[in-house]
A and B are shown apart, each in its own frame.
Chain A
Protein backbone atom coordinates (compact mmCIF):
# COMPACT_ATOMS: atom_id res chain seq x y z
CA UNK A 1 0.00 0.00 0.00
CA UNK A 2 2.87 2.35 0.81
CA UNK A 3 4.23 1.70 -2.70
CA UNK A 4 0.89 2.67 -4.26
CA UNK A 5 0.99 5.95 -2.40
CA UNK A 6 4.52 6.71 -3.54
CA UNK A 7 3.74 5.82 -7.14
CA UNK A 8 0.65 8.01 -7.13
CA UNK A 9 2.66 10.82 -5.55
CA UNK A 10 5.19 10.65 -8.38
CA UNK A 11 2.74 10.16 -11.24
CA UNK A 12 0.47 12.94 -10.01
CA UNK A 13 3.13 15.52 -10.84
CA UNK A 14 2.78 14.57 -14.50
CA UNK A 15 -1.00 14.45 -14.75
CA UNK A 16 -1.72 18.10 -15.49
CA UNK A 17 1.25 18.64 -17.84
CA UNK A 18 0.36 15.41 -19.64
CA UNK A 19 -3.21 16.56 -20.25
CA UNK A 20 -2.22 20.10 -21.19
CA UNK A 21 0.28 18.77 -23.74
CA UNK A 22 -1.54 15.54 -24.56
CA UNK A 23 -4.84 16.98 -25.74
CA UNK A 24 -3.32 19.32 -28.35
CA UNK A 25 -0.88 16.59 -29.41
CA UNK A 26 -3.71 14.10 -29.95
CA UNK A 27 -5.62 16.84 -31.76
CA UNK A 28 -2.68 17.46 -34.11
CA UNK A 29 -2.45 13.74 -34.77
CA UNK A 30 -6.15 13.71 -35.65
CA UNK A 31 -5.59 16.77 -37.91
CA UNK A 32 -7.75 19.10 -35.82
CA UNK A 33 -7.02 22.85 -36.18
CA UNK A 34 -5.88 22.85 -32.55
CA UNK A 35 -5.22 26.55 -32.13
CA UNK A 36 -8.55 27.66 -33.53
CA UNK A 37 -10.48 25.05 -31.56
CA UNK A 38 -8.64 25.97 -28.37
CA UNK A 39 -9.55 29.63 -28.77
CA UNK A 40 -13.12 28.68 -29.60
CA UNK A 41 -13.39 26.65 -26.40
CA UNK A 42 -11.53 29.20 -24.28
CA UNK A 43 -14.08 31.84 -25.23
CA UNK A 44 -16.51 30.02 -22.99
CA UNK A 45 -14.26 30.59 -19.97
CA UNK A 46 -15.60 34.08 -19.46
CA UNK A 47 -19.19 32.99 -19.94
CA UNK A 48 -18.88 30.14 -17.46
CA UNK A 49 -17.24 32.40 -14.87
CA UNK A 50 -19.96 35.00 -15.22
CA UNK A 51 -22.71 32.37 -15.28
CA UNK A 52 -21.66 30.91 -11.93
CA UNK A 53 -21.55 34.29 -10.16
CA UNK A 54 -25.22 34.29 -9.02
CA UNK A 55 -24.87 30.75 -7.67
CA UNK A 56 -21.61 31.53 -5.90
CA UNK A 57 -23.09 34.66 -4.35
CA UNK A 58 -26.24 32.85 -3.23
CA UNK A 59 -24.46 29.96 -1.54
CA UNK A 60 -21.34 31.80 -0.30
CA UNK A 61 -23.23 34.59 1.42
CA UNK A 62 -25.69 32.16 3.02
CA UNK A 63 -22.88 29.93 4.29
CA UNK A 64 -20.88 32.98 5.36
CA UNK A 65 -23.81 34.23 7.41
CA UNK A 66 -24.43 30.78 8.82
CA UNK A 67 -20.80 30.58 9.90
CA UNK A 68 -20.68 34.15 11.29
CA UNK A 69 -23.79 33.58 13.41
CA UNK A 70 -22.16 30.62 15.14
CA UNK A 71 -24.80 28.23 13.80
CA UNK A 72 -22.21 26.38 11.69
CA UNK A 73 -20.07 25.60 14.75
CA UNK A 74 -23.17 24.49 16.59
CA UNK A 75 -24.16 22.13 13.78
CA UNK A 76 -20.65 20.76 13.25
CA UNK A 77 -19.88 20.34 16.95
CA UNK A 78 -23.26 18.72 17.40
CA UNK A 79 -22.59 16.19 14.66
CA UNK A 80 -18.94 15.58 15.52
CA UNK A 81 -19.41 12.91 18.21
CA UNK A 82 -21.93 11.08 16.03
CA UNK A 83 -19.77 11.17 12.90
CA UNK A 84 -16.48 10.47 14.65
CA UNK A 85 -17.84 7.00 15.46
CA UNK A 86 -17.63 6.16 11.75
CA UNK A 87 -14.51 8.29 11.28
CA UNK A 88 -15.97 11.14 9.23
CA UNK A 89 -14.87 14.69 10.08
CA UNK A 90 -17.93 16.85 10.73
CA UNK A 91 -16.42 19.80 8.82
CA UNK A 92 -17.19 18.16 5.47
CA UNK A 93 -20.91 17.84 6.25
CA UNK A 94 -21.90 21.08 4.43
CA UNK A 95 -20.51 19.57 1.22
CA UNK A 96 -22.58 16.43 1.70
CA UNK A 97 -25.75 18.47 2.10
CA UNK A 98 -25.17 20.93 -0.75
CA UNK A 99 -23.60 18.60 -3.34
CA UNK A 100 -26.67 16.71 -4.63
CA UNK A 101 -28.54 20.01 -4.97
CA UNK A 102 -26.24 22.44 -6.74
CA UNK A 103 -22.92 22.14 -8.58
CA UNK A 104 -21.82 25.78 -8.48
CA UNK A 105 -22.99 25.94 -4.88
CA UNK A 106 -20.68 23.05 -4.01
CA UNK A 107 -17.85 24.97 -5.64
CA UNK A 108 -18.74 27.75 -3.22
CA UNK A 109 -18.48 25.28 -0.32
CA UNK A 110 -14.98 24.24 -1.46
CA UNK A 111 -13.98 27.91 -1.70
CA UNK A 112 -15.37 28.61 1.75
CA UNK A 113 -13.40 25.67 3.15
CA UNK A 114 -10.18 26.81 1.44
CA UNK A 115 -10.77 30.16 3.16
CA UNK A 116 -11.28 28.42 6.46
CA UNK A 117 -8.67 25.66 6.48
CA UNK A 118 -6.14 26.60 3.77
CA UNK A 119 -5.58 24.98 0.39
CA UNK A 120 -3.36 22.17 1.69
CA UNK A 121 -5.81 21.02 4.32
CA UNK A 122 -6.90 17.41 4.16
CA UNK A 123 -10.48 18.55 4.81
CA UNK A 124 -10.37 20.61 1.61
CA UNK A 125 -9.02 17.59 -0.27
CA UNK A 126 -11.90 15.50 1.05
CA UNK A 127 -14.47 18.11 0.08
CA UNK A 128 -12.90 18.56 -3.35
CA UNK A 129 -12.86 14.81 -3.91
CA UNK A 130 -16.54 14.64 -2.95
CA UNK A 131 -17.26 17.47 -5.35
CA UNK A 132 -15.43 15.71 -8.18
CA UNK A 133 -16.83 12.28 -7.44
CA UNK A 134 -20.56 12.93 -7.31
CA UNK A 135 -23.14 14.64 -9.46
CA UNK A 136 -25.88 17.17 -8.86
CA UNK A 137 -28.23 14.22 -8.49
CA UNK A 138 -31.53 16.07 -8.16
CA UNK A 139 -30.71 18.33 -11.10
CA UNK A 140 -29.76 15.39 -13.33
CA UNK A 141 -32.92 13.50 -12.39
CA UNK A 142 -35.09 16.58 -13.00
CA UNK A 143 -33.53 17.41 -16.36
CA UNK A 144 -33.16 13.89 -17.77
CA UNK A 145 -36.57 12.61 -16.77
CA UNK A 146 -38.12 15.94 -17.65
CA UNK A 147 -36.79 15.65 -21.21
CA UNK A 148 -38.31 12.18 -21.64
CA UNK A 149 -41.59 13.15 -19.95
CA UNK A 150 -41.17 10.61 -17.15
CA UNK A 151 -43.10 11.36 -13.97
CA UNK A 152 -42.76 8.10 -12.08
CA UNK A 153 -39.05 7.87 -11.44
CA UNK A 154 -39.23 4.58 -9.51
CA UNK A 155 -35.91 3.81 -7.79
CA UNK A 156 -33.90 6.59 -9.49
CA UNK A 157 -33.83 8.92 -6.46
CA UNK A 158 -32.87 6.32 -3.83
CA UNK A 159 -30.21 4.85 -6.12
CA UNK A 160 -28.78 8.31 -6.88
CA UNK A 161 -28.62 9.21 -3.21
CA UNK A 162 -27.07 5.87 -2.24
CA UNK A 163 -24.40 6.46 -4.90
CA UNK A 164 -23.80 9.96 -3.50
CA UNK A 165 -23.55 8.68 0.06
CA UNK A 166 -21.12 5.96 -1.04
CA UNK A 167 -18.89 8.47 -2.80
CA UNK A 168 -19.12 10.79 0.19
CA UNK A 169 -17.94 8.18 2.66
CA UNK A 170 -15.40 6.68 0.24
CA UNK A 171 -13.91 10.15 -0.34
CA UNK A 172 -13.12 10.50 3.38
CA UNK A 173 -11.29 7.21 3.57
CA UNK A 174 -9.55 7.34 0.20
CA UNK A 175 -8.21 10.83 0.87
CA UNK A 176 -7.12 9.79 4.35
CA UNK A 177 -5.37 6.79 2.89
CA UNK A 178 -3.72 8.71 0.04
CA UNK A 179 -2.76 11.95 1.76
CA UNK A 180 -3.27 11.32 5.48
Chain B
Protein backbone atom coordinates (compact mmCIF):
# COMPACT_ATOMS: atom_id res chain seq x y z
CA UNK B 1 0.00 0.00 0.00
CA UNK B 2 2.69 2.46 1.04
CA UNK B 3 4.69 1.42 -2.01
CA UNK B 4 1.87 2.50 -4.31
CA UNK B 5 1.22 5.77 -2.51
CA UNK B 6 4.89 6.67 -2.42
CA UNK B 7 5.40 5.66 -6.03
CA UNK B 8 2.25 7.58 -6.91
CA UNK B 9 3.59 10.75 -5.30
CA UNK B 10 6.77 10.57 -7.37
CA UNK B 11 5.09 9.61 -10.64
CA UNK B 12 2.28 12.16 -10.35
CA UNK B 13 4.86 14.86 -9.58
CA UNK B 14 6.53 14.05 -12.90
CA UNK B 15 3.24 13.92 -14.82
CA UNK B 16 2.04 17.21 -13.37
CA UNK B 17 5.38 18.87 -14.03
CA UNK B 18 5.31 17.74 -17.67
CA UNK B 19 1.70 18.86 -18.19
CA UNK B 20 2.37 22.26 -16.66
CA UNK B 21 5.58 22.78 -18.66
CA UNK B 22 4.00 21.75 -21.94
CA UNK B 23 1.11 24.11 -21.22
CA UNK B 24 3.58 26.93 -20.55
CA UNK B 25 5.32 26.20 -23.84
CA UNK B 26 2.14 26.09 -25.88
CA UNK B 27 0.75 29.26 -24.28
CA UNK B 28 4.15 30.94 -24.38
CA UNK B 29 3.65 32.05 -20.75
CA UNK B 30 7.12 33.56 -20.50
CA UNK B 31 7.20 35.20 -23.97
CA UNK B 32 10.68 33.82 -24.54
CA UNK B 33 12.62 35.98 -26.97
CA UNK B 34 10.08 38.84 -27.07
CA UNK B 35 11.31 42.19 -25.75
CA UNK B 36 9.28 43.77 -22.92
CA UNK B 37 8.78 47.52 -23.41
CA UNK B 38 9.72 49.59 -20.34
CA UNK B 39 10.70 53.14 -19.45
CA UNK B 40 13.99 53.88 -17.77
CA UNK B 41 14.47 56.89 -15.54
CA UNK B 42 17.86 57.97 -14.29
CA UNK B 43 17.55 59.96 -11.06
CA UNK B 44 21.28 60.75 -10.97
CA UNK B 45 21.58 61.40 -14.69
CA UNK B 46 22.98 59.13 -17.37
CA UNK B 47 26.43 59.16 -18.93
CA UNK B 48 27.49 56.71 -21.61
CA UNK B 49 30.94 56.34 -20.08
CA UNK B 50 29.66 55.31 -16.67
CA UNK B 51 29.86 51.57 -16.05
CA UNK B 52 27.09 51.36 -13.43
CA UNK B 53 24.15 53.74 -13.31
CA UNK B 54 21.28 53.64 -10.85
CA UNK B 55 17.99 53.42 -12.65
CA UNK B 56 14.27 53.32 -12.00
CA UNK B 57 12.36 50.90 -14.18
CA UNK B 58 8.79 51.83 -15.04
CA UNK B 59 6.53 49.15 -16.38
CA UNK B 60 3.18 50.24 -17.70
CA UNK B 61 0.54 48.09 -16.03
CA UNK B 62 -1.71 47.68 -19.06
CA UNK B 63 1.25 46.99 -21.35
CA UNK B 64 2.47 44.36 -18.90
CA UNK B 65 -0.93 42.70 -18.65
CA UNK B 66 -1.26 42.67 -22.40
CA UNK B 67 2.27 41.40 -22.95
CA UNK B 68 2.03 38.43 -20.61
CA UNK B 69 -1.72 37.94 -20.78
CA UNK B 70 -1.93 38.02 -16.98
CA UNK B 71 -4.04 39.66 -14.30
CA UNK B 72 -1.02 40.51 -12.17
CA UNK B 73 -0.30 44.22 -11.77
CA UNK B 74 3.33 45.36 -11.61
CA UNK B 75 4.41 48.07 -9.17
CA UNK B 76 4.84 51.61 -10.50
CA UNK B 77 8.58 51.51 -10.42
CA UNK B 78 11.40 49.08 -9.65
CA UNK B 79 14.85 50.06 -8.52
CA UNK B 80 17.76 48.66 -10.46
CA UNK B 81 21.18 49.21 -11.94
CA UNK B 82 22.13 49.62 -15.58
CA UNK B 83 25.48 47.96 -16.18
CA UNK B 84 27.65 48.43 -19.25
CA UNK B 85 29.18 45.09 -20.18
CA UNK B 86 31.25 43.84 -23.09
CA UNK B 87 28.10 42.43 -24.73
CA UNK B 88 25.99 45.50 -24.32
CA UNK B 89 23.84 46.93 -21.59
CA UNK B 90 22.40 44.81 -18.84
CA UNK B 91 19.59 45.83 -16.53
CA UNK B 92 19.83 44.33 -13.06
CA UNK B 93 16.73 44.60 -10.94
CA UNK B 94 17.46 45.29 -7.27
CA UNK B 95 18.07 42.19 -5.21
CA UNK B 96 15.02 40.59 -3.54
CA UNK B 97 12.64 43.19 -5.02
CA UNK B 98 9.03 41.98 -5.07
CA UNK B 99 8.15 41.07 -8.64
CA UNK B 100 4.80 40.07 -10.17
CA UNK B 101 4.34 36.76 -11.97
CA UNK B 102 5.71 35.62 -14.33
CA UNK B 103 8.73 37.82 -13.67
CA UNK B 104 9.19 36.25 -10.24
CA UNK B 105 9.41 32.81 -11.83
CA UNK B 106 11.81 34.09 -14.47
CA UNK B 107 14.01 35.43 -11.71
CA UNK B 108 13.90 32.30 -9.57
CA UNK B 109 14.79 30.03 -12.46
CA UNK B 110 17.37 32.24 -14.15
CA UNK B 111 19.28 33.71 -11.24
CA UNK B 112 21.22 31.59 -8.87
CA UNK B 113 21.41 32.22 -5.16
CA UNK B 114 21.73 36.02 -5.59
CA UNK B 115 18.00 36.41 -6.41
CA UNK B 116 18.67 39.21 -8.89
CA UNK B 117 16.74 39.46 -12.15
CA UNK B 118 19.01 40.40 -15.05
CA UNK B 119 17.81 41.42 -18.48
CA UNK B 120 19.53 42.45 -21.65
CA UNK B 121 18.62 46.01 -22.71
CA UNK B 122 17.72 46.42 -26.36
CA UNK B 123 16.33 49.38 -28.25
CA UNK B 124 17.80 51.91 -25.88
CA UNK B 125 18.96 55.16 -27.45
CA UNK B 126 19.48 57.86 -24.84
CA UNK B 127 20.21 61.39 -25.85
CA UNK B 128 22.26 63.49 -23.42
CA UNK B 129 19.57 66.14 -23.43
CA UNK B 130 16.76 64.18 -21.80
CA UNK B 131 18.41 62.69 -18.74
CA UNK B 132 15.66 63.74 -16.40
CA UNK B 133 12.78 62.13 -18.28
CA UNK B 134 11.93 58.50 -18.75
CA UNK B 135 13.59 56.96 -21.76
CA UNK B 136 11.83 54.27 -23.71
CA UNK B 137 13.65 50.97 -23.92
CA UNK B 138 13.02 47.27 -24.34
CA UNK B 139 14.41 44.56 -22.18
CA UNK B 140 15.06 41.01 -23.17
CA UNK B 141 14.47 38.66 -20.25
CA UNK B 142 16.29 35.36 -19.88
CA UNK B 143 14.63 32.44 -21.61
CA UNK B 144 12.60 30.25 -19.29
CA UNK B 145 11.59 26.69 -20.12
CA UNK B 146 10.57 23.61 -18.16
CA UNK B 147 10.10 25.52 -14.91
CA UNK B 148 8.30 22.70 -13.09
CA UNK B 149 10.77 20.07 -14.22
CA UNK B 150 13.59 22.04 -12.67
CA UNK B 151 11.43 22.79 -9.64
CA UNK B 152 10.65 19.16 -8.79
CA UNK B 153 14.29 18.15 -9.12
CA UNK B 154 15.30 21.07 -6.94
CA UNK B 155 12.59 20.22 -4.40
CA UNK B 156 13.76 16.61 -4.19
CA UNK B 157 17.32 17.70 -3.46
CA UNK B 158 16.29 20.44 -1.02
CA UNK B 159 13.95 18.25 0.97
CA UNK B 160 16.44 15.40 1.18
CA UNK B 161 18.84 17.86 2.77
CA UNK B 162 16.13 19.31 5.03
CA UNK B 163 15.20 15.84 6.29
CA UNK B 164 18.71 15.27 7.61
CA UNK B 165 18.96 18.74 9.13
CA UNK B 166 15.67 18.19 10.92
CA UNK B 167 16.61 14.74 12.18
CA UNK B 168 19.92 15.99 13.56
CA UNK B 169 18.13 18.91 15.18
CA UNK B 170 15.77 16.53 16.96
CA UNK B 171 18.55 14.62 18.74
CA UNK B 172 18.51 16.83 21.82
CA UNK B 173 14.76 16.76 22.39
CA UNK B 174 14.61 13.03 21.68
CA UNK B 175 17.43 12.34 24.15
CA UNK B 176 15.70 14.38 26.85
CA UNK B 177 12.40 12.65 26.36
CA UNK B 178 13.77 9.14 26.04
CA UNK B 179 15.78 9.71 29.21
CA UNK B 180 12.66 10.78 31.10
CA UNK B 181 10.64 7.86 29.75
CA UNK B 182 13.38 5.48 30.81
CA UNK B 183 13.05 6.76 34.38
CA UNK B 184 9.27 6.31 34.17
CA UNK B 185 9.74 2.77 32.92
CA UNK B 186 12.30 1.82 35.57
CA UNK B 187 10.28 3.30 38.40
CA UNK B 188 7.45 0.91 37.59
CA UNK B 189 4.92 3.52 36.55
CA UNK B 190 3.51 0.89 34.20
CA UNK B 191 2.58 -1.46 37.02
CA UNK B 192 0.70 1.14 39.02
CA UNK B 193 -1.30 2.04 35.91
CA UNK B 194 -1.98 -1.61 35.12
CA UNK B 195 -3.86 -2.00 38.39
CA UNK B 196 -6.12 0.90 37.42
CA UNK B 197 -6.94 -0.41 33.95
CA UNK B 198 -7.49 -4.05 34.96
CA UNK B 199 -11.23 -3.79 35.81
CA UNK B 200 -12.06 -2.12 32.48
CA UNK B 201 -10.06 -4.63 30.51
CA UNK B 202 -11.90 -7.56 32.09
CA UNK B 203 -15.09 -6.38 30.37
CA UNK B 204 -13.39 -5.93 27.00
CA UNK B 205 -11.78 -9.36 26.92
CA UNK B 206 -14.49 -11.72 28.23
CA UNK B 207 -12.90 -14.72 26.51
CA UNK B 208 -9.73 -14.64 28.60
CA UNK B 209 -10.03 -16.87 31.66
CA UNK B 210 -9.37 -15.41 35.12
CA UNK B 211 -5.68 -15.33 36.02
CA UNK B 212 -4.42 -16.10 32.49
CA UNK B 213 -1.08 -14.37 31.75
CA UNK B 214 -2.50 -12.88 28.52
CA UNK B 215 -4.46 -10.36 30.58
CA UNK B 216 -1.36 -9.01 32.33
CA UNK B 217 0.51 -8.66 29.04
CA UNK B 218 -2.40 -6.86 27.41
CA UNK B 219 -2.62 -4.43 30.34
CA UNK B 220 1.13 -3.77 30.19
CA UNK B 221 1.05 -3.27 26.43
CA UNK B 222 -1.85 -0.83 26.56
CA UNK B 223 -0.47 1.20 29.46
CA UNK B 224 2.93 1.43 27.77
CA UNK B 225 1.06 2.78 24.76
CA UNK B 226 -0.79 5.30 26.90
CA UNK B 227 2.50 6.65 28.25
CA UNK B 228 3.94 6.96 24.75
CA UNK B 229 6.53 4.26 25.52
CA UNK B 230 6.52 3.02 21.92
CA UNK B 231 9.73 1.00 22.29
CA UNK B 232 8.41 -0.86 25.32
CA UNK B 233 4.88 -1.28 24.00
CA UNK B 234 5.69 -3.32 20.90
CA UNK B 235 7.49 -6.25 22.60
CA UNK B 236 4.75 -6.34 25.26
CA UNK B 237 2.12 -6.39 22.52
CA UNK B 238 3.85 -9.24 20.74
CA UNK B 239 4.01 -11.18 24.01
CA UNK B 240 0.29 -10.51 24.54
CA UNK B 241 -0.48 -11.84 21.04
CA UNK B 242 1.49 -15.01 21.73
CA UNK B 243 -0.41 -15.52 24.99
CA UNK B 244 -3.70 -14.99 23.15
CA UNK B 245 -2.62 -17.52 20.54
CA UNK B 246 -2.40 -20.20 23.27
CA UNK B 247 -6.14 -19.64 23.83
CA UNK B 248 -6.86 -19.84 20.10
CA UNK B 249 -8.68 -22.94 18.81
CA UNK B 250 -7.30 -22.45 15.30
CA UNK B 251 -3.81 -21.96 13.92
CA UNK B 252 -4.18 -18.95 11.68
CA UNK B 253 -7.46 -17.16 12.41
CA UNK B 254 -7.68 -14.11 14.66
CA UNK B 255 -9.82 -14.45 17.78
CA UNK B 256 -12.15 -11.70 18.97
CA UNK B 257 -9.68 -10.86 21.74
CA UNK B 258 -6.88 -10.42 19.22
CA UNK B 259 -8.95 -8.06 17.13
CA UNK B 260 -9.89 -6.15 20.28
CA UNK B 261 -6.21 -5.86 21.25
CA UNK B 262 -5.40 -4.55 17.78
CA UNK B 263 -8.28 -2.07 17.93
CA UNK B 264 -7.14 -0.77 21.32
CA UNK B 265 -3.59 -0.49 20.04
CA UNK B 266 -4.53 1.53 16.97
CA UNK B 267 -6.91 3.68 19.02
CA UNK B 268 -5.12 3.75 22.33
CA UNK B 269 -5.84 6.50 24.83
CA UNK B 270 -2.75 8.72 24.67
CA UNK B 271 -1.80 10.37 27.97
CA UNK B 272 1.71 11.20 26.77
CA UNK B 273 2.09 11.86 23.03
CA UNK B 274 4.66 9.93 20.97
CA UNK B 275 8.30 10.94 21.46
CA UNK B 276 8.80 12.06 17.88
CA UNK B 277 5.86 14.44 18.06
CA UNK B 278 7.06 15.92 21.35
CA UNK B 279 10.48 16.50 19.80
CA UNK B 280 9.06 18.13 16.68
CA UNK B 281 6.48 20.39 18.29
CA UNK B 282 8.60 21.75 21.13
CA UNK B 283 6.64 23.83 23.64
CA UNK B 284 3.56 23.74 21.39
CA UNK B 285 3.02 20.19 22.59
CA UNK B 286 1.74 21.62 25.89
CA UNK B 287 -1.67 22.32 24.38
CA UNK B 288 -1.68 19.28 22.18
CA UNK B 289 -1.60 17.00 25.23
CA UNK B 290 -5.26 17.85 25.73
CA UNK B 291 -6.44 17.71 22.14
CA UNK B 292 -4.73 14.33 21.76
CA UNK B 293 -6.14 13.01 25.03
CA UNK B 294 -9.69 14.03 24.10
CA UNK B 295 -9.44 12.70 20.54
CA UNK B 296 -8.03 9.37 21.68
CA UNK B 297 -10.74 9.00 24.32
CA UNK B 298 -13.32 9.43 21.56
CA UNK B 299 -11.60 7.09 19.13
CA UNK B 300 -11.00 4.43 21.79
CA UNK B 301 -14.69 4.36 22.72
CA UNK B 302 -15.69 4.19 19.05
CA UNK B 303 -13.11 1.45 18.37
CA UNK B 304 -14.42 -0.71 21.23
CA UNK B 305 -18.05 -0.32 20.18
CA UNK B 306 -17.29 -0.92 16.51
CA UNK B 307 -15.19 -3.99 17.31
CA UNK B 308 -18.02 -5.50 19.35
CA UNK B 309 -20.65 -4.62 16.74
CA UNK B 310 -18.73 -5.71 13.64
CA UNK B 311 -17.79 -8.92 15.43
CA UNK B 312 -21.52 -9.68 15.55
CA UNK B 313 -21.80 -9.58 11.76
CA UNK B 314 -22.61 -12.93 10.24
CA UNK B 315 -19.46 -13.12 8.11
CA UNK B 316 -17.22 -12.62 11.13
CA UNK B 317 -19.32 -14.82 13.42
CA UNK B 318 -18.80 -17.69 10.98
CA UNK B 319 -15.03 -17.37 11.19
CA UNK B 320 -14.86 -16.87 14.98
CA UNK B 321 -12.34 -19.48 16.20
CA UNK B 322 -14.15 -19.78 19.53
CA UNK B 323 -17.38 -20.81 17.81
CA UNK B 324 -15.67 -23.00 15.22
CA UNK B 325 -14.01 -24.92 18.02
CA UNK B 326 -17.32 -25.83 19.65
CA UNK B 327 -19.54 -26.34 16.57
CA UNK B 328 -18.62 -27.84 13.21
CA UNK B 329 -14.86 -27.41 13.28
CA UNK B 330 -12.89 -26.93 10.09
CA UNK B 331 -15.84 -26.56 7.75
CA UNK B 332 -16.48 -22.85 7.83
CA UNK B 333 -12.85 -21.70 7.94
CA UNK B 334 -12.66 -21.55 4.17
CA UNK B 335 -15.75 -19.41 3.64
CA UNK B 336 -14.08 -16.05 4.04
CA UNK B 337 -10.79 -14.55 4.94
Give A residues with C-beta under 8 Å from B. 8-9, 11-13, 15-16, 19-20, 23-24, 26-27, 29-30, 32, 34, 37-46, 48-50, 52-53, 56-71, 74, 97-98, 101-105, 107-108, 110-111, 114-115, 119-120, 125, 128-135, 137-138, 140-141, 143-145, 147-156, 158-160, 162-164, 166-167, 170-171, 174-175, 178-179
Residues of B with C-beta under 8 A to A23: 180-181, 183-184, 187
Question: B16 and A178: CB pair below 8 A?
Answer: no
17 contacts between A and B (CB under 8 A): A23-B187, A29-B187, A40-B179, A46-B175, A64-B156, A64-B158, A65-B152, A68-B152, A131-B277, A140-B237, A147-B242, A153-B259, A155-B259, A159-B259, A159-B263, A166-B298, A167-B296
- A16-B283, A20-B180, A145-B241 in contact; A71/B303 too (CB < 8 A)? no
Task: For the complex of A and B, list the 5 residue pairs with the smallest distance between their C-beta atoms, beginning with the closest.
Answer: A41-B182, A45-B175, A64-B159, A42-B179, A163-B267
Give B residues with C-beta under 8 Å from A. 1-2, 5-6, 9-10, 12-17, 20, 148, 151-152, 154-160, 162-164, 166-168, 170-189, 231, 234, 237-238, 241-242, 244-245, 248, 251-254, 258-259, 261-263, 265-268, 270, 272-277, 280-292, 294-296, 298-300, 302-303, 306-307, 310-311, 313, 316, 319-320, 333, 337
Additional pairs, 9, CB under 8 Å, beyond known A38-B179, A156-B258: A16-B285, A42-B176, A65-B9, A115-B162, A138-B1, A141-B262, A143-B234, A152-B252, A164-B299
CB < 8 Å neighbour of A166 from B258, B287, B303, B316: B303
**Interface residues of B, dominant DSSP:** helix
- A56-B167, A150-B252, A166-B267 in contact; A140/B262 too (CB < 8 A)? yes
Residues of B with C-beta under 8 A to A108: 163
Question: B151 and A68: CB pair below 8 A?
Answer: yes
The residue in chain A whose Cβ has the minimal distance to the Cβ of B189 is A26
Residues of A with C-beta under 8 A to B270: 132-133
The residue in chain A whose Cβ has the minimal distance to the Cβ of B253 is A152
Question: B155 and A67: CB pair below 8 A?
Answer: yes
The residue in chain B whose Cβ has the minimal distance to the Cβ of A64 is B159
- A49-B171, A151-B252 in contact; A69/B266 too (CB < 8 A)? no
- A163-B303, A170-B298 in contact; A148/B262 too (CB < 8 A)? no
Give Cα distance in the complex from A11 to B272, angstroms: 15
Question: A156 and B262: CB pair below 8 A?
Answer: yes
CB < 8 Å neighbour of A133 from B13, B275, B296: B296
The residue in chain A whose Cβ has the minimal distance to the Cβ of B14 is A69
Question: A145 and B254: CB pair below 8 A?
Answer: yes
Question: B156 and A132: CB pair below 8 A?
Answer: no
CB < 8 Å neighbour of A154 from B1, B281, B302, B319: B319
The residue in chain B whose Cβ has the minimal distance to the Cβ of A158 is B310
Residues of B with C-beta under 8 A to A57: 159-160, 163-164
Q: How far is the CB of A77 from chain B (nearest CB, A)?
A: 13
Q: How far is the CB of B209 from chain A (nearest CB, A)?
A: 18
Residues of A with C-beta under 8 A to B175: 42-46
Residues of A with C-beta under 8 A to B181: 23, 41
Residues of B with C-beta under 8 A to A39: 179
